């Protein structure tokens, strides 16, 4: 009897919760008012997507494509570094991309980093060394904002971790510039991109202060001879920025498989031990 009564009480409680849950939006709208209509920009927005064929590092068995990472670094150096920093990445980290020690030394020396005059203590600049971190393109935030329509370009070191679906977000953003869809524009004739901003269908409000960084095929001449189309450059630099944010990504995946294998082995061993220990024991009769 008590079990049936308990079941009835639980059922009534669940029903009451469902009823109250269904009333919450109505009560909220009654107190606060109806939710505002979505802006026209929502109609143009498209969710980020992966490049055709996906990224080599994606999935449980993904691996770094070292050649792609080197191409991505080249895109960053020749295009992105004009506005964006990589303050958490040191030149020595490039060894992980397959560069030799001599190549890293030469690459670091090709950059100019802040320094101090050993005689006077005054600030100056000097060639970089492997222990230096990538320099900032602007001396301070005010200079960065003044040069970029009052928007400070973010550091890219952790960008793919700072945005949902980060790798796909960066790729989609770089390939999302263009003109609004004419059919959608016909439904929202009042929509327009404000002066000084650029339309990008993969940016949350579709109006972005950053000018298109990749404007034409062949903008970068790849050292390995790969054809530098806009989608290819976007994919390569997205992979590179994934590496800067998570350089141990592949090692972590590989470690995960070892952990799973160990847990399966330990579970099997525990089960066999249980069977062996309790093999001669018979369950008590009720």
Give the closest residue to 244 by CA, choosing from 128, 87, 102, 130.
87
Q: Do 52 and 73 reside in the same domain of the chain?
A: yes
pTM: 0.80
In the structure, what pLDDT confidence band is assigned to residue 95 with cuts at 50, 70 and 90?
very high
Q: Do 76 and 126 reside in the same domain of the chain?
A: no
Dist. CA 67–CA 277, nearest whole Å: 55
Angle of CA points 119, 125, 127, to nearest 5°: 110
Give the closest residue to 136 by CA, choosing from 117, 158, 114, 121.
114
Q: How many domains does the chain have?
A: 2
Per-residue pLDDT for 93 more than 80? yes
pLDDT digit string, tens, across residues 36-70: 445 666 788 999 999 999 999 998 899 999 999 99
Angle of CA points 105, 108, 114, to nearest 5°: 135
Question: Exposed, middle or buried by CB within 10 Å (0-12, 13-18, 19+), for 21?
Answer: exposed
Contact 148, 197 (CB under 8 A): no
Dist. CA 233–CA 51, nearest whole Å: 11
Mean pLDDT (whole number) for 98-124: 90
Q: Do 127 and 142 reside in the same domain of the chain?
A: no
Q: Do 198 and 158 reside in the same domain of the chain?
A: yes
Q: Do 99 and 190 reside in the same domain of the chain?
A: no
Host domain of residue 112: 91-133
Does residue 6 sit within a domain? no
């Amino acid at each position: 009897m008590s079990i049936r009564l308990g079941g009835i009480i639980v059922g009534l409680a669940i029903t009451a919760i469902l009823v109250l849950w269904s009333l919450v939006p109505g009560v909220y709208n009654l107190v606060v008012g109806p939710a505002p209509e979505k802006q026209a920009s929502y109609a143009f927005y498209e969710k980020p997507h992966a490049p055709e064929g996906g990224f080599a590092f994606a999935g449980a068995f993904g691996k770094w494509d070292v050649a792609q990472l080197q191409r991505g670094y080249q895109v960053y150096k020749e295009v992105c570094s004009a506005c964006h920093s990589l303050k958490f990445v040191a030149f020595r980290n490039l060894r992980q991309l397959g560069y030799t020690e001599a190549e890293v030394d030469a690459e670091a020396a090709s950059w100019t980093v802040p320094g101090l005059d050993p005689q006077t203590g005054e600030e100056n600049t000097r060639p970089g060394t492997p222990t230096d971190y990538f320099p900032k393109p602007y001396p301070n935030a005010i200079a960065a904002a003044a040069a970029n329509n009052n928007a400070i370009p973010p550091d890219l070191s952790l960008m793919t971790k700072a945005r949902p679906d980060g790798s796909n977000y960066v790729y989609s953003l770089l390939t999302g510039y263009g003109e609004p869809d004419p059919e959608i524009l016909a439904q929202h004739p009042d929509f327009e991109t404000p002066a000084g901003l650029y339309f990008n269908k993969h940016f949350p409000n579709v109006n972005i202060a950053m000018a298109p960084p990749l404007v034409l095929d062949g903008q970068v001449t790849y050292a390995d001879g790969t054809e530098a189309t806009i989608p290819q450059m976007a994919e390569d630099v997205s992979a590179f920025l994934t590496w800067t944010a998570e350089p141990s990504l592949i090692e972590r995946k590989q470690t995960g498989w070892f952990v799973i294998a160990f847990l399966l082995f330990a579970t099997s061993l525990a089960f066999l031990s249980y069977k062996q220990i309790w093999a001669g024991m018979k369950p008590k009769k009720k």
